[in-house]
Amino acid sequence: MNSDIKTILLTREQLAKRVKELAQKISEDYRNKDCVLVSVLKGSFIFYADLVREIDFHTTINFLRVSSYGSGATSSAKITFKYPLDSKVEGKHVLVIEDIIDSGNTYVFLKKYFKDQGALSVSMCALLDKPERREVDISAEYVGFEIPNEFVVGYGLDYDEKYRNLPYIGVLKPEIYKK
Ligand code: IMP
Ligand code: MG
């Protein structure tokens, strides 16, 4: 698995330090608000688990799943729920936790969905941001790291459902997805 990685972009230590900083900021901003933290599966599962353990207010644990990428390495604006959120967001502040904001289409879709459900506010915390790839005019309110336009895996992020269990974030060798 490690031999499929071209370069390590973010080490375990860098990730842990930044997750702690993000959690501190989120804790300050949301401490006195009724906030629902929502993990977008599957990519954010490790980030979410690390983040919530650094969050200093009462929170419930919530998941949803959307499909946008399929198994390939290119985006598509067609987004549907594969697993909807099972808790109510009406009258609450929603913070969407994502592995990466890329085209921005997922965020646009979720923002509209939660607003329609009566959320007081909808914001996003994305561990990674690839601003070069944006197709819509939207940005995450909290970003861990801005990264260049390269396909990355690890720490939850996959290529074809693999590499999610790598403890760091790395750039996949292009020959892997050009096969
Ligand atoms: P969006 O294009 O902003 O809607 O992002 C959709 C999803 O694409 C993210 O949540 C990731 O699951 C996936 N994605 C985007 N870039 C990468 C990448 O470099 N590696 C792995 N998954 C990615
Ligand atoms: Mg994915």
State the pTM of this model: 0.94
Q: How would you list the strands of the sheet with 62-67, edge to edge?
A: 80-83, 62-67, 35-41, 93-101, 121-129, 142-146
Measured between alpha carbons, how far is 114 from 106 in angstroms, rounded to an integer?
12
Q: What is the mean pLDDT of residues 19-40?
A: 97
pLDDT in tens, 96-154: 999 999 999 999 999 999 999 999 999 999 999 999 999 999 999 999 999 999 999 99
Q: Return the residue whose CA atom lies nearest to atom 2 of ligand 1.
A: 103
Is the predicted pLDDT of residue 29 greater than 50, yes or no?
A: yes
Query: Ligand 1 pocket check: which of 157, 176, 177 to mutate, most ligand atoms within 8 Å of Cβ?
Result: 157
Please give the Cα distance from 1 to 115 (Å, whole number).
41
| Domain range annotation of the chain | 2-177
Distance, CA 32 to ligand 1 centroid (Å)?
31
Pocket of ligand 1 (CB under 6 A): 43, 68-69, 75, 98-106, 151-153, 157
| Alpha helices per DSSP H over the chain | 12-30, 45-52, 105-116, 174-177
The pLDDT of residue 76: 53
Which letter does DSSP use for residue 59 in this model? -
pLDDT of residue 71: 45
Q: In sequence order, what E strands does 47-168 have?
A: 62-67, 80-83, 93-101, 121-129, 142-146, 152-153
Q: How far apart are CA 27 and CA 29, in angstroms?
A: 6
User: Which CATH topology does 2-177 take?
Assistant: Rossmann fold (3.40.50)
Classify residue 177 by burial, with Cβ atoms within 10 Å: 0-12, 13-18, 19+: middle
Q: How far is the CA of 121 from the centre of ligand 2 (A)?
A: 26
